[in-house]
């Protein structure tokens, strides 16, 4: 049984590891974050393109070329951002991301570790039910505390400016949200974030099961020293990637809904997403947008 000092050290270790891992991941994956957010936006999805030279055979009786909706892919959006806005736009929202990612990861892993200790005393220690309740509790606390920062980050990533024009910084964006929407504006998308807790639960349930399997595997017990440390490291990395990938594929729709709720004009009657239920009415087509970027971030799982 761990002493109070050991438990405190474990919590501090989770705080530090979660914060550092989240910060490094945020920097390297920021361009993918920007592209993903742009692809999730209703402004991109609702754009219409005409191909009169291609679809001449589809002219209706009224003599009008039919309308075709085209959703750009990852490379098309990347090319558009580089040509029209410049490479710096690929790092839009990095400021609030760096401000928020370390505290959010630290709070998450600290809450997860503490909740796991408590639930181990209620349920069978280290069982799946313990992992599920611990992950859900930690995600609920983290989402509630950090939503204002993620709201500002999303707004900055969705802002489109011509190359060379001045863009809002983090403080200017936060001030604009407050002036136009008030305090409630900072909590847009929170309901979708709560719905997305299922992703965290699935992720950690799979991860903890894989981690337990790796510890009990014959290969892990037969190796020693440097080989064992190397095996553990790459095994945990693979477990983190697999668990995050599976969870993201299952729970991805909430991310698209959350982005649309956070768009400027996303309030009732606006051009953006009106409500969580209104977003879901758009059908499954936009809910699987940019699945290729899933699992590229928030892999800050620790052993």
CATH code assigned at 185? 1.50.40.10
Give the span between the Cα atoms of 299 and 6, in whole angstroms.
25
- What would the two tokens of residue 230 be? 């190397």
* Number of domains, the chain: 1
Is the pLDDT reported for residue 281 higher than 50? no
Is residue 26 domain-resident?
Answer: yes
Per-residue confidence band for 227, with pLDDT thresholds at 50, 70 and 90: low
Give the span between the Cα atoms of 281 and 261, in whole angstroms.
13
Is residue 99 domain-resident?
Answer: yes
Is the pLDDT reported for residue 291 higher than 80? no
Q: What is the pLDDT of residue 136?
A: 92
Q: 105: which residues sit within 8 A by CB, 6+ positions away?
A: 18, 19, 21, 22, 23, 300
Is the pLDDT reported for residue 169 higher than 70? yes
Is residue 143 domain-resident?
Answer: yes
Contact between residue 254 and residue 199 where contact means Cβ atoms under 8 Å apart: yes
Q: What is the pLDDT of residue 66?
A: 46
Give the span between the Cα atoms of 200 and 248, in whole angstroms.
9
Give the span between the Cα atoms of 156 and 38, in whole angstroms.
11
Give the span between the Cα atoms of 1 and 160, in whole angstroms.
55
- What would the two tokens of residue 295 be? 């699992």
Contact between residue 209 and residue 301 where contact means Cβ atoms under 8 Å apart: no
Is residue 23 domain-resident?
Answer: yes
Q: Which of 180, 186, 184, 182 is nearest to 154 (CA)?
A: 186
Contact between residue 192 and residue 276 where contact means Cβ atoms under 8 Å apart: yes
Across 224-232, average pLDDT: 63
- Please give the share of the chain, as a percent, with pLDDT higher than 90: 29
Give the span between the Cα atoms of 265 and 39, in whole angstroms.
17
Domain that holds residue 119: 10-47+70-161+169-293
Is residue 281 domain-resident?
Answer: yes
Is residue 2 domain-resident?
Answer: no
Q: pLDDT averaged over the chain?
A: 77
Specify the DSSP element, H or E, that contains 69: strand 68-69
Is residue 62 domain-resident?
Answer: no
Is residue 300 domain-resident?
Answer: no
């Amino acid at each position: 049984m761990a002493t109070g000092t050991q438990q405190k050290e474990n919590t501090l270790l989770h705080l530090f590891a979660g914060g550092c891992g989240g910060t490094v991941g945020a920097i390297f994956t920021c361009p993918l974050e920007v592209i993903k957010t742009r692809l999730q936006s209703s402004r991109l999805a609702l754009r219409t393109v005409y191909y009169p030279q291609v679809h001449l055979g589809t002219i209706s009786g009224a003599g009008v070329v039919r309308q075709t909706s085209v959703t750009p892919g990852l490379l098309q959006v990347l090319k558009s951002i580089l040509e029209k806005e410049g490479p710096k736009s690929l790092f839009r929202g990095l400021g609030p991301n760096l401000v928020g990612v370390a505290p959010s990861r630290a709070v998450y892993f600290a809450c997860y570790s503490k909740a796991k200790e408590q639930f181990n005393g209620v349920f069978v220690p280290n069982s799946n039910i313990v992992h599920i309740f611990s992950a859900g509790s930690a995600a609920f606390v983290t989402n509630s505390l950090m939503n204002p920062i993620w709201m500002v980050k999303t707004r900055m990533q969705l802002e489109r400016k011509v190359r060379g024009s001045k863009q809002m910084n983090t403080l200017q964006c936060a001030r604009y949200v407050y002036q136009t929407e008030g305090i409630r504006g900072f909590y847009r998308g929170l309901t979708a974030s709560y719905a997305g807790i299922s992703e965290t639960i699935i992720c950690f349930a799979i991860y903890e099961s894989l981690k337990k399997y790796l510890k009990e595997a014959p290969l892990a017990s037969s190796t020693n020293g440097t080989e064992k440390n190397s095996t553990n490291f790459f095994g945990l990395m693979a477990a983190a990637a697999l668990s995050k990938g599976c969870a993201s594929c299952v729970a991805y729709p909430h991310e698209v809904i959350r982005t649309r709720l956070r768009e400027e004009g996303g309030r009732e009657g606006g051009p953006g997403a009106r409500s969580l239920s209104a977003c879901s009415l758009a059908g499954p087509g936009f809910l699987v947008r940019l699945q290729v970027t899933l699992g590229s971030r928030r892999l800050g799982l620790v052993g």
